[in-house]
Structure 1
Amino acid sequence: MASLVLSDSSQLTADGFEKLPDQIINVSIIQIKLVYVADEFGFQPTGDHLPVKPPTPVLIQKALDYLATLPSTPEPPVVSPSRRYY
């Protein structure tokens, strides 16, 4: 796929998606490897310096697993208006 390299070294592909270069240097002169894709699924950064989601607590996971085994709640019936004439 054809791409255009911009002045900040990022790439813009023919389908309109943008990719940042693999490495940047922050103000404290520490090299950070950051890769992101901005596409139809939104902004998706990846890098070792980014925070990660903590694991789900055991009790919460047990509750979620239990709820997944239950049947879904049926929709309440729609009550039609009565046809009473006064």
Structure 2
Amino acid sequence: MVFIRLARSANLIASGTARTKQIVQPVVQVKTIRSPAPVPRPQPLVSYNNYQEGKWKIIRQLSDVDTDGYHWEYETENKIIAEESGKLHNVGTDAEAMRAKGFFQYTGPDNVVYTVEYTADENGFNPVGNHLPTPPPIPEAIAKALEVDRAANKL
């Protein structure tokens, strides 16, 4: 980044008398601002032969759209596979909602094949996979209280 400072006046001596003359003289000060060092990206443990320009080619792709649903699937050169189907439920009512079910699979940098199956509906996105964290079990006292509330129709 370059900053410019202008000098506004200078004293000149002429014929033994001091007088001031206005001059503009650019003074260039260069201040270097260093950006932080780039963070190195982790290198994949798997080498793929067909990787070009940051993209993998799709080697298989199917798609079908109907008035009340859809289905698509694809596979890439690096063995990413995904598939999803969705169908409109409760058509024409206030409870109309799209419900989808699908999965995706890929090989992680640790050479492990990861698979995620999921549903998506009016209750949200619900993934399931062996590698995904699961919540701890509900404590016994709370589970009993919930059962009592359900029996009394409070839930």
TM-score range, shorter chain: 0.3 to 0.5
Structure 1 length-normalised TM: 0.48
Larger radius of gyration: 2
Structure with bigger helix share is: 1
Structure 2 length-normalised TM: 0.32
